[in-house]
Amino acid sequence: MGVYYNNKRYLEFIYRLESELEEDVVNNSKMFFGSNAIYIDAKRKIEARALGGSIPDGFLFDLSDVENPAFYIVEIELSSHSFHGHIFPQITKFFSFFRNSKSQNELVNKLYAIVNENSEIRAQFDVFLQGRELYKYIKDAVETNQNILIVIDSEMKELPDIMGTYAEWSETVKIMELNKYTNGLDCIYKLEPEFENVEYSAMDIEEEEDEVVSVPTESFHLDKVNENVKEVYSFIKNGVLHAYPDTLFHPTKHYLSIIRNKRRIAHFKFRKKSVNLVVMKNDEQVREDIRLHNVITRSSGVWKFWNGECCEIQLSTTDNLLEIVSLLRDMLEEDEALQVAVKF
């Protein structure tokens, strides 16, 4: 395959060695993962026993949301590798690590030491910490927002079936396909999906919007979160149902939607210590009503996933939730008025 840019022809570069792909990821980590991400190339610095007997290629902290940093074990793979003979057992060992609190503590200690010993990495963290204690910050990220990121050079046919079959894979594993094109001097990279949209790569919008499934249920999501998140969800749900009792709270495998008259107005994405409320309205409009919570702008790629303009609000306590309930009620009222107008 050829790519043409600025009167130059770029041919696809075929990765023969995994080390070539690893080098490109390390050298371009800020470009691939964004300026709010910190990539640690620590393959030779982490003992295998710390991660279930398997050494990953790197670790990634996504600090786009400073209050809720995301942690990724990064595995860089060639699609030519055997999936069941190499990739599947490797990822399975990382699952075991996430379930082992002792191993997690050992890794946190090691990551803390690596960051403190490397002035460049420490400086990157300091930009975001703003007085927060580094050790606790790393520990909270590793314990509460766990992900596995596979960077691979081309599609692997086994992955979609595995992601659809095993809940642990679909909930934890994210996949990015990296392609490289070169004219001998310059390079062009193609990344699918972009990192800011990677959490959506394993998710899908259900086709039957009017079907309320019995499995998964609310408990499928709520059993994995702390009491604060349960209280947040309960407060919002009760507040909405009090005004509009026919509203549906529709659970899917990856999120839970608020639906009325077959229209989705918002979605809950649950994490252990917080929940992100995806509001089907652009961020400027939402900020007019939401003054006490951080409204997160989302890209057009995320809009495409949710089938419309949207933004996110992160919630972890029941403080100031009345403005959230008020926003959702207003959206339902607007939708009801629109439905009436359409009838006439």
212 occurs within a structural domain: no
Residue 35 has a pLDDT of 92
Looking at the fold, whether 233 and 157 belong to one and the same domain comes out as no
Looking at the fold, whether 139 and 281 belong to one and the same domain comes out as no
Looking at the fold, whether 120 and 17 belong to one and the same domain comes out as yes
Task: Specify the amino acid at residue 308.
Answer: G
- Expressed in angstroms, the distance from the first to the final Cα of the chain is 54
The whole-model pTM stands at 0.80
Looking at the fold, whether 234 and 164 belong to one and the same domain comes out as no
The mean-pLDDT minimum among 109-113, 212-216, 253-257, 325-329 falls in: 212-216
213 occurs within a structural domain: no
205 occurs within a structural domain: no
The structure tokens listed for 206 are: 């259900």
For residue 281, the enclosing domain spans 218-343
Looking at the fold, whether 172 and 103 belong to one and the same domain comes out as yes
Looking at the fold, whether 267 and 171 belong to one and the same domain comes out as no
14 occurs within a structural domain: yes
- pLDDT digits 0-9 by tens, 277-292: 999 999 999 999 999 9
In a 13 Å sphere around the CA of 6, the CA atoms on its Cβ side amount to 4
Task: For residue 133, report the phi and psi dihedrals to the nearest 5 degrees.
Answer: -80, 125
Give the C-alpha separation, 138 to 145, whole Å. Answer: 11
- Residue 319's domain is classified under what CATH number? 3.90.1150
- pLDDT digits 0-9 by tens, 131-176: 899 999 999 999 888 899 999 999 888 888 888 778 788 888 999 9
264 occurs within a structural domain: yes
Looking at the fold, whether 62 and 171 belong to one and the same domain comes out as yes
Q: How many domains does the chain have?
A: 2
Task: Specify the amino acid at residue 68.
Answer: N
Looking at the fold, whether 130 and 250 belong to one and the same domain comes out as no
Looking at the fold, whether 189 and 245 belong to one and the same domain comes out as no
211 occurs within a structural domain: no
Looking at the fold, whether 10 and 46 belong to one and the same domain comes out as yes
The structure tokens listed for 74 are: 């990064």
The structure tokens listed for 277 are: 């409320």
